[in-house]
Structures are given as structure tokens and as C-alpha cells.
Structure 1
Amino acid sequence: NRRRLKEAIELAIFRATSLDRPCSLLLIDMDRFKLVNDLEGHEAGDRFLIEVSRLLRRHAGHTDTVARIGSDEFAVLLENLSAEQALERAEFIRGELEGYGFRHGGRQYRTCASIGVAGIEGGTGSAAVSELMAQADQACFVAKQHGRNRVHAYSEGDPELDYLRRDHTWAPLIREAIERDRLFLCFQPIVRTRDGRITHYECLLRMRDRDGNVCMPGEFIPVAERTGLIHRLDMWVVDRALDFLAAQPRGERDVRVSVNLSAHAFLNRELFDLLARRLEMSRVPSDRLLFEITETAAIENMARSRELIARLRALGCRFALDDFGSGFSTFNYIKHFPVDYLKLDGSFIVNVANDPVDQALVRHMISIARSLGKETIAEFVESEAAFEAVRELGVDYVQGHYLGEARETPIARVELPGYTPTVPPDGDGERPAPPSADPRRGRAG
């Protein structure tokens, strides 16, 4: 077990540093244990682990220590072997595990393992038990990142470890920001091209660090996704968006907001019930709330995305597909996807005023959207020329710095050439509903 292993590592480190006898630690993560456990039950899973333990014991030297340190994790401590010999032994064990077939109920399961290797050369300086175990664990993580069923020796320069270090730094800051109210929303206007009216605001998430500095989503959203904190951020954004809508004065109660849902939101089976309850409590008309999902995330989780979108639309919420056009192979899916708006990928918009190819592509996407009965939103409208170009091409809504920056206090109107600013009459519920979110500016998810 883990306690016995730590004792053995402590002694091995002493021998390595004092007696010039190198040692290496192999951390072995069984890549397919969950499959056996889920399909055959815990009794079969236990027998599988026992057989793996016996296999490891058979191929370990008489001075080696073998331990089970997690549900499907094992460790082998090798002594008096060079780094090259330890890697050879690890590769041999990996091959034996790959060739092993677990049989149960007339079925056979092939297994494999990711193995991380960390070592201490003889005569080197002191090292802590926890440090060696952490290095082996990190090497195993890199092996998994490289495709599993492989051996990887720890190196401090492994770029994959930057994710782990970043997660270790940022995860506590994100939790603290949620608990201590250091998150806030900025609102960027979305303007209807036919009359220059602000019909929506996109909610863009920001975070303040302990010193009050503003952190952009690109810094903390990826960490939240890897560490599972993204679900809390998703719900925080929805809560604050509904609070914003509920607080609008009577004359502005036809304005809508768009909220970005992370790809991970569609893996959260509780999301629909939480959203439905929150909508009911807020008393905000559900058609004032738009959700946005990227095209890539929608296609990757096609069945679940369609299910959740259909259920939320049944409540009255609207949906937009972000980054539309970034994956042309997915055009076939769009006609079956229940969204209201297609948000054109910003890469087609930034140079649309001067690039005939971008103009042709945007025109084509607008044509597809109209044939499907959907409206279009163009993001990254950064200049008057870009605005005039997309308006002439027939885009329904526009968003970008030219029309308004994202601000904590949203702007009430925009001044555009050729438009006379108007104050919408009270109760004008005509405004349609787009979303928008750009990771470079601030995913609200």
C-alpha cells in the first residue's frame, strides 16, 4: 500500500544518495480498468486488479517493491538499476500488460497501461519521497497526454507539465474568486443592422485577482475546464445575467442578453433543472435569455447538445451557434441543429471590407442561414468599413469594438452613420435574440 511504499522509497533514496545505488519509481495507471468495472461489476474489477498485481509481482526483481496506490494505480520501486535499465524494465512491463487478456463471463478484455518513470542517480543530492512520487505521477500524466499505452521518463522541461503547474496556481484563485465575489460581467452591445438599435448584450466574464487586477477569460477558463470548476462558472454567469435582466427599468425590458455555455456544460446532466428553477425564481421572460455554444463543441457532443438545446428552447430560451463556418465539414449538421442564430466566425469578418474571398464566404454563410430560417451575427466588427461591408452583405446583427466595448455598465445606444438614434417604446418586444462570445475577448462560460 501507499504507506509501505513511502517507507521503501525513503530507504531507497538514502541508499541512492549515500551508497551510490540509483533507484527509480514506476507509476503505472491501468488505462482500461473502468471499462471492466463498469461492464462486469466490482467483483470482476477486483479480480482484474489481483491478476494485474500478480503479473507485476512476477516481473519485478526480488529486491523491488510493488504497491497498489490507487483504485487502478500501481507503483514499482526499482533499486540498483540505471535510468536506462529502469526505462527498459518499464517498457517490458508495459508490453506484458498490453499482451495480457482478462477473461470474465466468456468475454476477454485487452488491457494497457501508461507508465511514468522518475529516478535518482547514485551519489546525487537529497530528495524527498513526495518529490519522487510527484515526478513519477507527472511523467505518467505526460504518457497519457501522448496517447496512453506508453512509457515516459520525467523531465522538468516537459511542456505538458505547464498545464499542471498552471492548474495548481489558478484553481485556488478561481475558487476564491467565486466564494469572495471577485467575478464580474462586462456587457458588449449587439446591434441590429437594419435600424442601428441595440437588441442584445453579450455577457463576458472577468475575474479580479487578490490584488484587484482584472484577469481575462483566456487566463482562467481553460483551467476551470480542466479542473471541473467550469460548471460553477457557467451557473454563476447565468445567475448574474438573470439578475441583470430582472433589474432593467421598465422601458428596457425588451433587451436580451446572450450567455456563452462551455462545451462542458452539455456534460452536466443537472444543468437543465438548475436553469429551469433559476428562470422560474427570477420571473424573467425566458425569451430574453440566449445561450451560445461554439460550433466545435456542438458537433463534438452532438446528441447531448441537441437534447439540451431542444429542452431549453421549449422553455422559451434562444440559442446561437458561435464560430459558424470554422468547420465547413459540419454544414450538413446545421439543418438538423435547433438554434436560432448563426454567429459567423470572426476570422471571416476582420478583413471582410478588403478581402473578396471573405466577402464571398460570408455571403455564402448568410445564404445558408436564410435558407434554414436562421439569423446571422457578425463579430469582430472593428471599423466603419467592416460594418458597412457586413451590412451590405446582409448580416442581421453586428458586434465589435466599432459598435461598443465590453463594459460593466452597458451603453444604452450607439451612434452610427446613416442612423438616427431612437429610444425604443416601452414594451417593444420585437427585438430578436442573438448571442456572442469570443475567447479572445471573454468567454462568459
Structure 2
Amino acid sequence: MSSLRPVYMPIVCVQDKSLLASEALLRLGNDPVAHIDFLTDAEASGEIFRVDSWMLQQAAETVRQYGASLAVNVSPVTITSALDVYLQTLAEHRDAVPNLIFEITETRPFFSVSELLRFSAAVRDLGGRLSLDDFGAGYASLDLVPSVQPDFVKLSKEYLDRVLVDPGLLELLRRRLPAQCSLIAEHIDSDDKMRFLRLNGVQYAQGYLIGRPKPLENLDIQKYLKADHTIN
């Protein structure tokens, strides 16, 4: 894991730009795109659980050092094929879990609802929150909602593009989500999109308009890591 490093990308409240959390994203050295093939290969080989566990460890250390609020990604492959290993890592860092949102990614289908239920229960028991990533892209669907009961659903760029044309899709989506579930729109890169989210009741946003992914050493700690801090 010596060439791997986390970078952090903020998620903010649409209404006042206060920080919800920063998503911990993986990068491979200084190459901005090499991580994509790396993660694809790790999932295909079943080794992604090592990456997910390492990222959880890194996030937990950042929580302890800065009191950060972070989101971490968890692959379906980790949950269905190596859950015991991941839950052991989770237990070792239980003190940090209340500051974490666990984003279940959309890159592979789920073959074990029972393991998904076990993962969700373990996160909840330790005070963590859950998010379904990239709704409207890949394998992401609402089929997981009854099992996960997510705190957040992240709208993919593809789904957001459709919503921008037909805002009524948001209401149809909300009807199928738990009452406590908030929406996060990804790939927000313009004031017009931010205004649309505000007018249509989408609670949170993430994208280059708000902040690009940055390594820890280049962060404004208050802006990127402290929940409720306002990002201007």
C-alpha cells in the first residue's frame, strides 16, 4: 500500500454550504486517474477488501487527529466476500465510527443480502451512518434500500442530468426512500446546478464547484474536515 494515498473531497449542505463530511478517495501516487484501473483490478481479483480496510484505517486516524467527519467507500465485493475481515477492522477503530459515513459503491451487484444486513447492522451498532453511492449508474438501484435503510443516497452524474431535464424524478425517488434519508448530488460544477438543487430540495452537494480532492497536507483543516464549518 506504499504508493496509495487518500485525498479528501467535501460534501456540503446546499442551503448554507456547511460541511457534512469530506469523502476519502484513493489515489495512486500523483497520477490523477491511475486509481481507476487499480480499483477495477482489485475488485476483479477479490483483493479490494484490503484497499477498503486500509482506507478505513486512514480515515480513522484522521478522525482521531482532527476530529474530522469523513465518508469512506466500501465495495460490494468486500461486503459479500470478505466481510469478517472488514468488520474486524471496523471493531478495531470503533471509536472513529460515529464520525464516518460508509458509502456502498455501485461497481458490482450484491449476491448476499444477509451479508449486507450484517454489515449495515454492524455500522449502525457502532454509531456510523450509511450511504448508497452513485444512484442511477452502474449496479446502483433502490433494491438495496430495504436492507440498508440509508441515511443518504448519492445521485450519479447520469441521474442528475436526467433530473435537470425532469425535476419530477426527484419526487418519485423520494417516495421510495426512508423518511430520514437525504439526497447528495455529485459532480456539481456550476452555480446553476447548485441553484437547481436548492430550489428542488436536494440537501447536499459535492463537486468541483465546492472543492476538488486534496491530500491532507494541502487541506484547510477547518474547511475540509470539521463538520458544520462553512465552505465559501
Query: Secondary structure in 1 aligned to 2:58?
Result: helix
TM-score of the aligned structures, taking structure 2 as reference length? 0.84
Give the unaligned 5+ runs of structure 2. none
Q: Is the 8 A contact 1:352 1:389 kept in 2?
A: no
Query: Retained in 2: the 8 A contact 1:341–1:375?
Result: yes
Matched letter for residue 396 of structure 1: Q
One-letter amino acid of the counterpart of residue 169, structure 2: L
- 1:130-279 pair list within 5 angstroms: 178=1, 181-208=2-29, 213-248=31-66, 253=67, 255-266=68-79, 267-268=81-82, 269-279=84-94
Structure 1 residues 404-423: aligned runs within 5 Å: 404-408=211-215, 409-411=218-220, 412-413=222-223
> In structure 2, what is the Cα distance between the partners aligned to 1:393 and 1:236?
37
Q: In the superposition, relative to structure 1, how do residues 214 and 334 fare at CA in structure 2: closer, same or farther (>3 Å)?
A: closer
SS across alignment from 1:335? helix
Residues 1:393 and 2:200 aligned together:
yes
In structure 1, what is the equivalent of residue 135 of structure 2?
Answer: 324
Residues 334-391 of structure 1: per-residue CA shift (max 9 Å, x gap) = 23433211112221224654x2x2x22134324443x532111111111110111012
- The percent identity for this pair of structures is 26
Aligned partners of 1:296 and 1:224: how far apart in 2? 12
Q: Do the aligned residues in 2 keep the contact of 1:296 with 1:327 (CA within 8 Å)?
A: yes
TM alignment of 1:79-90, pairs within 5 A: none
**Matching residue of 1:381:** 188
- Going from structure 1 to structure 2, the CA distance change for 1:187 and 1:350 (only over 3 Å counts) comes to farther
Does the CA contact (< 8 Å) of 1:350 and 1:380 recur in 2?
A: no
User: Matched residues in 1 for 2:48 and 2:55: separation?
Assistant: 11
Aligned partner of residue 236 in structure 1, secondary structure? helix
Deviations 1:7-41 (A, max 9, x none): xxxxxxxxxxxxxxxxxxxxxxxxxxxxxxxxxxx
- Asked if 1:347 corresponds to 2:185, the answer is no
Higher normalized contact order (CA 8 Å, seq sep 6+, divided by chain length): 2
Residues matched between the structures, number: 223
Alpha-carbon distance between aligned partners in 1 of 2:140 and 2:211, rounded to the nearest angstrom: 33
Q: What SS is found at the alignment partner of 1:247?
A: helix
* CA deviations over 1:78-128 (Å, ceiling 9, x no partner): xxxxxxxxxxxxxxxxxxxxxxxxxxxxxxxxxxxxxxxxxxxxxxxxxxx
Note the alpha carbon deviations across 1:174-211, whole angstroms, 9 max, x for none: xxxx1xx2211110000012321112000010012xxx
Helix, strand or coil at the partner of 1:402: coil
Please show how residues 12-161 of structure 1 align to structure 2 within 5 Å.
none
- Which aligned runs of 4 or more in structure 1 are off by greater than 6 angstroms? none
Secondary structure of the equivalent of 2:214?
A: coil
Distance verdict in 2 for CA 1:221–1:295, change over 3 Å? closer
Give me the TM-score of the superposition, normalised by structure 1.
0.46
Following superposition, the deviation at residue 228 of structure 1 comes to 3.2
Q: Deviations over 1:210-245 (max 9, x none)?
A: xx6455321211111223331221111111111111
Taking the aligned partners of 1:315 and 1:293, their CA distance within structure 2 comes to 17
CA RMSD of aligned residues (A): 2.7
Deviation at 1:327, TM superposition (A): 8.0
Look up the equivalent residue of 1:236 and give its one-letter code.
W
Aligned partner of 1:301 in structure 2 is 112
Listed as ranges, the gaps of 5+ residues in structure 1 are: 1-177, 415-423, 432-445
